[in-house]
Amino acid sequence: MLDFPALRNLVDRLDYAPLFVTVSGAHLYGFPSPDSDIDLRGCHRLPLCDVVALDVPNQTRAIETELAGIEVELVSHDVGKYLRLLVKNNGYVLEQIFSPLVVCGQAFLDELRPLAQRCITRHHYHHYRGFLATQRKLIAREQPPRLKPILYAYRVLLTGIHLLRSGEVEANLPRLADEYGLTFVQDLIERKTREQAVAETPDWAEHDARLGELEGRLDEAYRASPLPEDRDRRAVSDFLVRVRLSG
């Protein structure tokens, strides 16, 4: 279980004030192990004088620490960099914005989420296709393959299919597997929570075929997607200006 008061206390002790912080990674995806790292993601606002100065400031802050013996990583981008990633069909950013695991900044997210919804396009397909290719390479390097990259492959495929069909950002693998009738996924998740668990070779042949079938469904979801071609860059730009000037 995530200790949200402790996570908020950690954020409160930073030497800068994030606009929001949410939980990403295995906790968001619904298959954390007892000792899984906690991945925190968010954005902050650089002072206006730094943004307009001659020298470009560091736009990313990253810290690594521990909380009750668990590693915690917090990565935060300046709001300008963050919103530019948003309008580039970046699925990671979408999942962070719509993460239900909010550490701080709910009021800011309440403003940002409607804008982010208008930035969801059928071209997010390319993000999930690319992420899948990375997981495939990880799986191919290990014999027998670990369960973690296999679960990530299922997660990214189902998140991409669901997004392209519905326009809804859902990153939780157990919920997605239940909705799409992949009842075997829960068993994989239970096995993964036992650290160092591996998928036996016969299992991998079956999962390779299942992943291939889902790849085809992802491609079909892209071809048939009702999502728009373009995102609302003007609205995001206006929002960024308001956030800058309000600081």
Task: With 0.85 as the threshold, say if the pTM is over it.
Answer: yes
62-101 pLDDT per residue, tens? 999 999 999 999 999 999 999 999 999 999 999 999 999 9
What's the Cα-to-Cα distance from 177 to each of 58, 100, 143, 147, 181, rounded to whole Å?
40, 18, 25, 16, 6
Q: Give me the mean pLDDT over the 116-137 stretch.
A: 96
Positive/negative CA dihedral, 176, 180, 186, 188: negative
**For the chain, where are the alpha helices, taking DSSP H only?**
4-12, 25-29, 48-52, 79-86, 91-97, 106-117, 124-141, 147-166, 173-179, 185-192, 201-224, 233-246
> Is the pLDDT score of 201 beyond 80?
no
